[in-house]
Structure formats: structure tokens, C-alpha cells
A and B are shown apart, each in its own frame.
Chain A
Amino acid sequence: MSFRQARHEEPLTFEMAYCEVGESMPVPDGLLPANLVRKDVPCIPKLSEREMVRHFTALSQMNYGVDSGFYPLGSCTMKYGPKINEELASLPKAADIHPLQPEETVQGTLQILYELQNMLATITGMDAVSLQPAAGAQGEFTGLLIARAFHEKNGEERTEVVLPDTSHGTNPASAVMAGFNVVTIPSKDGRVDLDALSAAVSEKTAAFMLTNPNTLGIFESQVLEIAKIMHDAGALLYYDGANVNAIMGKTTPGKMEFDIVHLNLHKTFSTPHGGGGPGSGPVCVKERFAGFLPVPVVAKKGEGYSLNYDIPDSIGKVHGFYGNWGVMLRAYAYILMNGRDGLTEAAERAVLNSNYLKKLVERFLVVPYSGLRKHEFVASGSSLKEKGVRTMDVAKRLIDYGFHPPTVYFPLLIEEALMIEPTETEVKYTLDKFAEALASIVKESPEILHNAPQNASVKRVNETEAAKKLILTYRDYLEDIE
């Protein structure tokens, strides 16, 4: 156990410098009407460049990314991202292009977007693509607005979205934002219960949202039967693409008869997660939904490319401009570099890593449901409860061993869940070390586990106090200490 995270007593910028006062910096007379003038200067302290860089460098040292070490956060696909992508995205010809420049001055960008649309159509087995949604959840929202518009055009009022109890939290939240009621069905043996699905589906059902492989990492082998149930009922099958990393080159949502798909470029296509974002959540659809996609879609026009706003039944826009171009460019470079074989091998290695790690973990923790996994698996910490240890304690102790903890307490149907997604960019050595750490942890005393972590920048953080006190700004903090 050699991990030690930096532990700086780093102040807030507000504690490092003083704010300037307004009277010293008047707004020139006549520049603004008197009733619009801000009297005080905003109280934001100014640091020198050296102080600023040192401050944020110190903070970065108290943070942990994929470049720091193993980050098996389930359903988030924390794979290593090639550095070339960062350099390309920061080129002036990529970053300094204004979204409202005339088309003839952004032909390079439009060509890349056009080619990326086609690549994603191939990878998903769908016919048409919108790159506009800025994140996976926005892709879901967009996809469901398309489903809604499609049914409305057919003169049908379908008010419900059905989803399994293993679905990502964004699924029901997106369904509600798109105006649907949510019907959740229980799983059976870790897969969709076809009887429960049939019972839940009616003439009110707009769509069934499914991720395949599901959040347990189990492939829904009966997917064509699911598709038949939905399509016979006049409903659509929606694919949550969070887990596409497991299937590239093996199957496609299109082949599985899904109607609408969203992808997460920041997961499957390696663009960095940025501490929470930016991401990108393109929506890919079958031909019969192409007329509902958000505008604009990039089209080929003679030798050049254009932004096509002429989409008859388009739902309109979901982003002020065209989505997160900087993320799309990185994903484009990643797909080019990997090519068909590289992407297939990525899926293979991701699945091999996951099954191998599962095999190791099964020696000391229960992994409910037998059989193959795809890119991730979910272990249960329930056996530790009798000695008073919770999954959260295990997660915190993993930090001491230098690993980012897995996703915990999700999916909800696994008690004390630890959702582990190793991704393809890890080697066997790392997986072995992680399993060894976990094996030691489950044998450690409750006292050690309750007091973990010891080697991070701070000890266990009191989240209850945070919710109670609600210190959300420096000003709140000053009021609190008074």
C-alpha cells in the first residue's frame, strides 16, 4: 500500500487576496445610464499568474483521474484517452471557429462532422445521426422527444415509457422531462422479465428503454423477442448507449432492432470526462425517424458540406448551437486511429478484462447471477454487513490502496452493490493488484474500514453535515463562522 495523495492545506482564492473596492474604479461617465451602473467591483480576488497556477496545480494534485490510476467506475467507461486528441481539439482551426461563421469558412469542421455521423451510423447499425445532444442524458431526452413526435404524427397519444429496474437514473428522469409517465418493471435472473414486459406494455406505451448489455453487465440475449413485443404493440425500442463499449464489432443496436439510440462519446470513444463534463450524446435512428432529428444535420452538397435545416418533422433544437464539437473531434480522431479492428479489439479486451476480474472477485465477494458478463459486473458487499461493514466502507478503503472506487449502491436491485467496469485500457497486472486489494480489504477489521480513507487528501467527508449546513459559497462560509 504505497498510495499517498497530496494533502495541501490549500486556501480558497478568497483567502489568498483582497477584493478591490468600487470607488477606486468608477465606470466612465456617460458609458451607461446611471441606473444601470454597477457600483461595487465584483468581489473576486485577483491572483498573480504564478499564484493562480500554483493554486490550481496544488488542487489538481488533490484530484484523481484516469491518468492517475485505475478508475473502474461502473457504467462510466473510464478508459484512457489518447493525448493526440487533446492536441487536435486545441488547434486554432478547431477551437477558435465561431458557430455562426458562413458555411464556406467551416468546411473542414463540417466534413469531420459529416464523416463522424456516418461512422456512428455504422457502429450503431442505424441510418441517420444527430450530433447535437451535449451529453448522454440529453441524448435520451432528444430520443424520447423524437419518439413523442413520431407517435403524435401518427395520431397516437402514447403517454408511458417502460423501463427495467436496472436502468440508469437518467432514463426515468429523461422520460419525465419529455412528458412521459414512467412504468418500471422488475428484472428476472438479471435480465428483462418478458412476462412483466408484456404485461406492462399497452396502447399507451411510447417506448421501452433498454441498455444492452444491461447495468449488471449481462447481455439481454432475448432482445429480438423484446423488440417484437414492443413493435407488435406499436411502441418503440430505445437503446441507452452507455454500454456500447462491450459490443462494438459483435452486434449493433440496429441489428438488435432498436429504433432510437444514443451514444456517449465521452465513454465509448475515449474523450476525457473533465471532472463531470463536457460530454456528447449523439442520437442515431432508423430511417423512419430521420425526419424527426434535431436541426441542423450535416449534409453533403456537391463537393462541399452544409448544415441542413430542411428536415420536415424535426423536433427543433436541443442546444444553442450544434452540441459539443470539441468532444466530437476527439471521438472522430479516436475512431480513425482504432479503425474497425481496433474498436472490435477494444470491446473484446474490455469484456475479457471484466470477466477475468469478476473471476478474481468471486473468490471473496458474491457476484449475483451466474454466467458471462460483458464490459462490467456487479458484486455485492452484503456478506460484510454482519461484521458491520458497508459497501461504502469498502469503497473508501480502496482509495487507500490507490484505486478509484467502483460505482456503489447501483443498480438498486443488488444489495450493497459494487459496480465494476475495468475497460480495455487496463493490463492484467492492474486487475490483479486491484483484486488483491479488494481481497485484503474484505478481511480487514471493521475499525480500519470505518476509518478509511487514511491516504487521501482528507479523511472521510461528512456529507450529512454538508447537506445540513449548506455552505455553497465563500459568502455562506463567512456567515457560518460568524
Chain B
Amino acid sequence: MLNDKDVKEMLAALDIDSVERLFDDIPESVRANLDGLQEGMSELQVRRHVESILAKNRDPRDTASFLGAGAYDFYVPAAVRAVMSRSEFLTSYTPYQSELSQGLLHALFEYQSMMAELTSMEVVNNSIYDYATALGEAILMAARLTKGTVFLIPEAMSRSKLSVIENYCRGAGIQLRRYKFDRTSGCADLESMKNQITDEIIGAYVETPNLFGVLETQLDDIRGLLDSKIFVAGVNALSLGIVRPPGDYDADIVITEGQIFGNPVNFGGPHLGVLACKKKFVRKMPGRVIGMTTDADGNRAFCMTLMTREQHIRREKATSNICTNEALTAIATASYLALTGGGDLRKLAISIAEKSRRLAKRLDELSGCKAPMFDGAHFSEFVVTLPKDASSIASQMLEKGVIPGVPLSHLIKGMENELLISVTDKTTLDDADSLVLTLQEVIQ
């Protein structure tokens, strides 16, 4: 029970003798305590306890890992971590009071500007929870822009992502239909897409690189096929250092994962869902947007804008329910991109693409392996076909200290012998050697 001097004085001011009186409005019939919880610990005890449990985890320092599939373990520079630890950012909230929040607003405006340059899009909001939820929101936004009821998505999509967007579409009654992929190139099967484009179509989602790590080459044709329907493009943010950006092929809405720029993989979250669009669609966009304006003295200032789209103003007519987002990871991304600039980003993208290609070539030389499985162009990720079940090979390799990638059967049906392999800037030549040697041992 609280009993310090402050408490006594406050109770006296309230003319009551015990804090318990402040809970007299909670009827006995609903009273419950927290006896199911343990007693509190000291900070030192908490540190030791948590560290001892976390010691059971294996991190990339113990185990060479080639996992990707939407979460990419790139190096986070110390300077980015230093920015993230600035408690003025860390412990603030949504900048409702713009005069007191100029630093955050300014940084988020830079984030919007940088991501707009990277994607060649006109507008970027300041975050959805992650890639999958950004895709869900993008489809809902597309539905607000057209009269259609059906949205086209690729057959090559992970179960998780599919499940998320099915949930986002459920309430709006949007039907999802799949278009096939070309079994040789791994790219979209345009005939399959074309055959499904009817009046009821809202638009289509195209992923590049897609689930197989294959870059889509028919983007202008897809734009043509879709005509006035909504083209939602999903991209790998780092690939845009070297790959044609979505604004260049006239995508309407673009999503990507910003985690790759300055945020750890974090067991899948916090990540950073990026959503960009054409400016003419901005009033249908979900989420927060920062605008530049002036203050009463005419000096440059920033504030949240177009808030009449948002739930705290518009309630059931809002473009989305999103309130709390991933602002801090957006700040990390802005500070990361300020360190690399466009030039170093391009260099990084080149080195990753080359590293990935070299690794695929080495794996392709192993007996019974084909890498990459598809003959389309790749960026950082590719599928290797193994001579037998990929899950069991992965388990055997783990025993030898290597996590070789994601067995594709974990993500979609019907690809038992396939493994999805990804490289990052942390992947060393030693890591690659151990992958190749261990795989060789296991398949022999």
C-alpha cells in the first residue's frame, strides 16, 4: 500500500484516509487481485533473469544464417543506434502538438522525402506496421479508388502474407483471385493475369522481387494490361539502389519493408511498413502524413496534415483504424539513409546482388542442385532446388551449425525440395564456404 509523504498529503487534500477509497466505485462483485503474478524483482535480478533465458537463443554470431523471406539481417550502424536512443524521440508520442514536436516532424518529413526519392513516388505516409499489413492497407486503399470488388494477387505468395491480406479484405468484402507464375522464369504469367481482368477488378498486386527472389521484367506490359485499374507494386527497398523504381513504371501504390534500412530483424517486429502513392490519391491514403508549413512568424514548420482521413477525427468514416504506427523505425531508416545517401545505397545494392549471384553459382555446381531454380533475374535472394526434401536437409545442416535458408514448403505448397536463400552485408565468405561445404556433406 502506498504510504509516502506525498501520498499522505494528497489523501489529506482529497479528504480520505486511504487510497482504497478511490476504488469504492468498483463493486465487490467484480473485484480481483493479481495473486497469480510473482513478487517484483530488482533491476539486477531482471537483467540476470532475462539474459539467462535469452542465452537459449542462437543468434547469427553462433550460426551462419541465410534466412530472408521478408526479414533481412543487415548491419545497423552505431550512429543509427545512437539516434534511436535519443530519448526525446524514443519517449515522445504522436506529434499532435506540433510546436513541441518539430524535431520528430522534421525527421519524419525527411523520411517521407527520402522514401519518395527511392521509390520515385510522390507521397509516402509515415508507416504501417510491416510489409504484410502495408499490403493489406494498400488493397483497401485501392478498393476506395475504384468501383471493383475483386483484387488480383500472385499465386507465388507466402501463406502468412496471404492470411494477413485475407483478413484485411474480409470486412470490405474484397475477393482475392490469383494469377499464375511462369514456371521457367518465375515471373508473372501475363496470360493468366490478362484473362482475369474484368470490370469487377480493382487492380493487381505485383511483387518484385517476388517470393522466389525473381525480379519482374514485364512491368510496363502489366501497367498496360491494368490500364486505369490500380497497380500495387511491392518491392525490396534496397534493390531500388539499382533496380528501376515503381514510379518509373507508373505504379499507383507502392509498398515495401523499411526494416532493411537501420533496423534489426527483431524476430519479425518492430519492422517498418512503407506505403507510397501518387499524390492524386493522397486523400484515400491510410496513416499519418507530415506536411511542411509555416509558423506565426512565417518560419518553416512541420505538422501532421490531412488528419480528417484519420480515426481520431473521422471515426467510422476514417481511411483506416491505424493510430500507433512504427514511427521510431522510420526515424532509424531516415538516419540510415542519411548515412548512405543514394550513392552508397547503390554500391551496397550492387555488392549484395553480386554476392548473391556468386553464391547461387557455387550451389549450382553441387551435384543434384540447381541454383537459381528460375532463370529470371534476381537481387539478393534465390531459390535452390535440392536433390531431396529441403526441410530435412535444413535440419541436418543446423546440427552442423548452418541455417541454410527457408524451406519453401514452409511458405507455400508444393515445393518440397526447394530452399530460399538470402544474403546480406553481414554474410561473409566464411559463411558462404560453410553453407556450400555443409550442404555438400549433407546431400552426399
Contacts and interface: CB of A to CB of B under 8 A. Distances in A.
A276 to B, nearest CB: 3
B57 A251 contact: no
Given A135-B322, A137-B321, A352 B32 contact: no
Which of the listed residues B289, B305, B337 has the most CB atoms from chain A within 10 Å of its own CB? B305
A42 B240 CA distance: 8
Interface stretch (B118-126, B197-205, B224-232, B363-371): B118-126
Contact of B43 (A27, A82, A476): A82
B46 A84 contact: yes
B296 A276 contact: no
A366 interface: no
Interface size class of B (residues with CB under 8 A): 35 or more
A332 interface: yes
A239 interface: no
A325 B71 CA distance: 13
Interface stretch (B146-154, B188-196, B306-314, B380-388): B306-314
Contacts of A326: 266-267, 269-270
B295 A458 contact: yes
A44 B311 CA distance: 32
A192 to B, nearest CB: 14
A356 B10 contact: yes
A109 B57 contact: yes
Given A100-B406, A337-B43, 13 more contacts: A27-B242, A98-B403, A317-B167, A321-B130, A332-B50, A333-B50, A340-B33, A340-B37, A349-B19, A353-B10, A458-B295, A461-B303, A463-B293
Interface in A213-232: 218-219, 221, 223-224
Contacts of B341: 17, 19-20, 44-47
Contacts of A429: 6
Contact of A275 (B7, B98, B104): B104
Nearest to B50: A88
Contacts of B344: 46
A52 B86 CA distance: 13
Contacts of A249: 33-34
7 contacts: A57-B83, A96-B60, A138-B129, A277-B326, A337-B40, A337-B46, A339-B39
Contact of B338 (A20, A43, A47, A252): A47
Contacts of A141: 321
Contact of A105 (B73, B321, B403): B403
Nearest to B288: A276
B245 interface: yes
B81 A134 contact: no
Contact of A466 (B2, B97, B303, B410): B303
Contact of A10 (B73, B106, B118, B282): B106
A36 B215 contact: yes
Contact of A179 (B171, B312, B322): B171
A12 interface: yes
A478 to B, nearest CB: 10
B323 to A, nearest CB: 5
A13 B36 contact: no
Given A67-B88, A277-B328, A461-B99, A170 B311 contact: yes
A248 interface: yes
Given A17-B341, A337-B46, A371-B25, A319 B164 contact: yes
Contacts of B173: 179
